[in-house]
Structures are given as structure tokens and as C-alpha cells.
Amino acid sequence: MYVDLGAEKILAAQKDSEKIAVEIKSFVRASVISEFHTALGQFLNYRFALSEQDPERTLYLAVPNDTYSSFFTIRFVQNVIQTYGLKIVTYNPTNEVIVEWIS
């Protein structure tokens, strides 16, 4: 099984001395909650696959900074993030730059 199970984009990289993988999601569909459910399921599957294939690599979920501000700050979503230990990267899709690393 390969880590790329249908992510919009998944990148292997290094942040400082840490080996990372970043799953990039755009959240462009009409239902943000539906996209979140899909992203969460994929994230958990990718993290499990990485734990077997490359256990030293940490997985991050990249989301647009406006989506993070408007949706990922909802208490329910924050509780899910905390419960499952999601590591988040926010990015500006127009400028294609990372805005914030949230661990």
C-alpha cells in the first residue's frame, strides 16, 4: 500500500531536522463538513500507513488559511483535532505560501 490514497497532493519534506509529510487539501467543495470528514479519514489512514512505511516522518494536514479561520476554529472541529492529534499547516492558496504551523 502506498501513502498516496487519493490526496489532492501529498509531499515529503523536512522541517528543520524533522522529517515530515504534508497532505494538502483545498476545501473548495460546497460542504466544508463533508470535506473535513474525508480529509480526516484520509489523514488517519495516511498516518497509519506512514507509521509502517516511514515511522520517523510526521504527517501534517495543510488547509487554506481562510478555511482554518472560518471552520477549523469551531469547538467541535478543535476537539476532533485535539482528540486525533492532527498537526495542521495553514497556507495562502493565492500566494502559495505557508502561513502557520499548528502542532
pTM exceeding 0.85: no
Domains recognised in the chain with CATH numbers: 9-102 (3.40.1350.10)
Mean pLDDT per block of 10 residues along the chain (103 residues) reads 43 65 87 94 92 88 95 96 95 89 86
Secondary structure class of 30 (helix, strand, coil)? coil
Q: Sort strands 97-102 and 88-92 into parallel, antiparallel or unpaired.
A: antiparallel
83 is written with which cell numbers?
482528540
Overall size of the chain counted in residues: 103
